[in-house]
Structure 1
């Protein structure tokens, strides 16, 4: 939209497949009014919480409607930076629309890693992994969905945030005996409190234009935003008192986020560690999902797993909802080279209260990192584009 030619490459066969391929229970936990895309907002008839396949279809139609330059079934296989010419040389291998394979060499001045703010799936290496005789052992990102008839089967899910809760809910609905292993505490907020307290007024059915709300939120200095989130978290905690007390009674440990700043604090600092409750809490409170807190998995057994305290959990299926590494790991695999030391960890607040490395100067010329939830991508994509425009036009010192 700023007049700079841009090409997006995607490994998948179609735009949106990154969402379509995920577990069947996946639905956005943020409301539609918070998730609007730039230039083309969701229709008024859109559901409040978007199912994954519907979102994938929307992304595909969005790219077509805006005539974005996209190569699917494409992968960056080689890259190098010319410090003197200030330009990248990248080789992209792709399958053309006619089905033929080709490798193209391009010379962009700027390269943007927009693979999500997390890196590779974190799958811990645990003794005995190869010995497991059950049906499924995988990371949550590869979870195929619970079998339609799970009666008589046992599932163990390692982790206690959004993905884990969704997967446990899927298992319960299919009749499995389910145990969640919660290694550390989780921030929990009900969907209702998220709608009315955390996002209410600014992002709801009747609210200011989303661009105005974005400026109100992201125009605040980080300390002010944190302070406001502490107040919001306190109010939400009072409204959710029954749920939170029920979880604690069931052995599930909750917290209030970094410095009491709740879900915004957790997301901006860690990129995880929270759950927006859409039914999973009730399953724990009612005993339909059993909880084992504060334990690491010590060993995988042929028919289950052993925890650090010696507890043995039988399992036909084991899912590791253990999150993802820092975004640097993805960048290394994409670029095929070690990142310079000046490109530090990505995401989380730095000592000045700004987000580290993402949406700004990465420390390496011509290299940018972009990611976050839909709301952050909507706002910060424009700022990243403006920074690149300044450099392309040679206006840095104007």
Structure 2
């Protein structure tokens, strides 16, 4: 017997979960909706308990907000041109939840342990209260289920030989807030990883007085591209470029022609020799700007931080230099040292590297990313392979896979060679066995139609489950809004080209494979991207939003003139009133 019955259960109360709840309740006001999150506060990755000192967004005011709820400078005490502090993001999301009456639907401190699909396609969720010890399980019946836990819920924590002997403090970056005092009092710190959280951790420790050793694994994608907040006299930024339609024309995206038009321009740019050379040259200009700005060749330690591949392949393996002090000056002053090696083992007060170096350390922080799979246990067992989650047992048609790969490389031949990885001369050889053990054996990425819906006919025809936020995107909030509306329409059979009467399940499977394989080729692990795990959207993020809006039958080109459409960036505010627009079209 279920303790509660719902029309829609949403797991995750971050940006995507809140967008989903707001959108569905706006389109279907009488729906019974609840959001479940194991955290103590709203916000997902921006929950209060995850806000470590100095945390800021890569985004600036106006680009990290919902279209219907502007982040007003006076209200949230943030100024134009500033990177948004984590505490402001948390407060913004809390006020958003209050504004749209979502607080009464929130079930915080509540973890969804399992989800079982039963007869007629309903879901039975078993939930526990994370504040109780021991926790009592409750049953929830839901007609529809949305998994909005994203990709940063469960930390990926490696283990090392000799770990039990290590006498220092050892923790994952997810605990940076709780361990902030430990980091402030540390004298010798090792930070494993080269993502933006690694840079943040190194910075926090170094300005607190510690000496920091940043360890970059040679078998990974290398150090993040850390871009200046603004560059060139035009005050350009990577977010501005990635969300401007003119720049998106230079993105070799496989679904661009069907979503955004300009087929002849795209043909000339991506399928002719002259066009491809022009595209390559423009990406090369971006490389040059960043490399010169950061001065990698000015200091022997900085040379080790020089990205290993071009910006063309980087995906969301990027960060923005949003620090009060110059991060690179801390390297020049010897506060931060760089090692390109694996951690071979630990001892009492030592971190032993594959290069032979031994670092004395009292604190070891692992900025080693996140588990790709949701933490929910899905039942029955036979439903798991049909969900489209990364899995070693996922079965796909070899014929469709080959057809998809052939089409991609014909449409965008620039992806054929893949990234050329150039490590610094000092790099140690990777410990392959150790690397494989810690990274696991998963060898597929998400296989979801439109990156949201399992392509399995059995699940698709019930229209009862979707996954949102299982991607990386520069225009994350715009994508969140579009995904929420697309799922709302899908659940209620309101998308014309995949309606019950028109849907072709073979085409659904093919499109799923095509887009997943494109992501794998476009931003591969060797280039620092995450396409081998999930969609990794940078300049193709705007094109993905276009694709979803075209499915929904709402306006794709939302600027008031062709000039603005081509040269002005797209912001969340351009999608203000999107749900109302879709509802009006549905009624008419």
TM range (shorter): 0.7 to 0.9
Choose from 19, 33, 57 the match for 2:62.
33
TM-score normalised per structure 2? 0.55
Distance 1:229 1:41, change over 3 A: farther
Partner of 2:487: 387
Q: State whether structure 2 residue 465 is matched by structure 1 residue 367.
A: yes
Q: How far is 1:38 from its partner? A: 3.6
Does the aligned pair in 2 maintain the 1:180–1:292 contact within 8 Å?
Answer: yes
1:319 and 2:365 correspond: yes
CA distance in 2, matches of 1:229, 1:324: 33
Shift of 1:280: 2.6
1:137 maps onto 2:187 in alignment: no
* Change in CA separation of 1:234 and 1:43 when aligned onto 2, cut-off 3 Å: farther
Question: Structure 2 vs 1, CA of residues 197 and 234 (structure 1 numbering), >3 Å: closer, same or farther?
Answer: farther
CA distance, structure 2, for counterparts of residue 363 and residue 15 of structure 1:
31
- Could you report, residue by residue, the CA deviation over 1:137-161 in whole angstroms, capped at 9, with x for unpaired residues? 111111222548647x111101112
User: Per-residue deviation at 1:80?
Assistant: 0.8
TM superposition shift of 1:233: 4.4
Q: Residue 337 and residue 129 in structure 1: after superposition, are their counterparts in 2 closer, same or farther (change >3 A)?
A: farther
Q: For residue 120 of structure 1, give the secondary structure of its aligned residue in structure 2.
A: coil
Could you list the per-position Cα deviations for residues 88-107 of structure 1 after superposition, in whole angstroms to 9, with x for gaps in the alignment? 112333489xxxx8754333
* SS, match of residue 276 in structure 1: strand
Q: Deviations over 1:241-298 (max 9, x none)?
A: 14142477324243375x6425xx422xxxxx333223433322443211111x1001
Question: 2:239, 2:474 within 8 Å by CA — same for their partners in 1?
Answer: no
> Take 2:106 and 2:474, find their aligned partners in 1: how far apart are those partners?
19
Q: Measure, in 1, the Cα distance between the counterparts of 2:196 and 2:320.
A: 7
1:221/1:89 CA distance change after superposition, 3 Å? farther
Q: Give runs of aligned pairs for residues 140-151 of structure 1, distance below 5 A.
A: 140-143=173-176, 144-147=179-182, 150=185
What does 1:139-218 align with in structure 2 at a 5 Å threshold? Answer: 139-143=172-176, 144-147=179-182, 150=185, 153-184=187-218, 185-186=222-223, 187-193=225-231, 196-200=236-240
Please give the per-residue CA displacement for 1:158-191, whole angstroms capped at 9, x wherever unaligned. 1112111111111111100111111242223222
- Aligned mates of 1:231, 1:41 — CA distance in 2: 37
Aligned residues: 368
2:294 paired residue number: 243
Structure 2, gaps ≥5 residues long: 1-25, 257-265, 271-275, 391-403, 409-444, 502-588
SS in 2 for 1:261: helix
Cα drift, residue 67 of structure 1: 0.8
Q: What's the counterpart of residue 584 of structure 2?
A: none
Shift in alpha-carbon separation, 1:148–1:111, aligned structure 2, 3 A: closer
From the CA coordinates, give the structure whose radius of gyration is larger.
Answer: 2
Structure with greater proportional helix content = 2
> Contact 1:182–1:292 (CA<8 Å) still a contact in 2?
yes
CA drift of 1:319 comes to 0.4
User: Counterpart in 1 of 2:319?
Assistant: 275
Task: Give ranges in structure 1 of 5+ residues lacking alignment.
Answer: 204-212, 268-272
Runs of 4+ in 1 over 4 A off after TM superposition: 101-104, 146-149, 213-218, 223-233, 336-339, 350-356
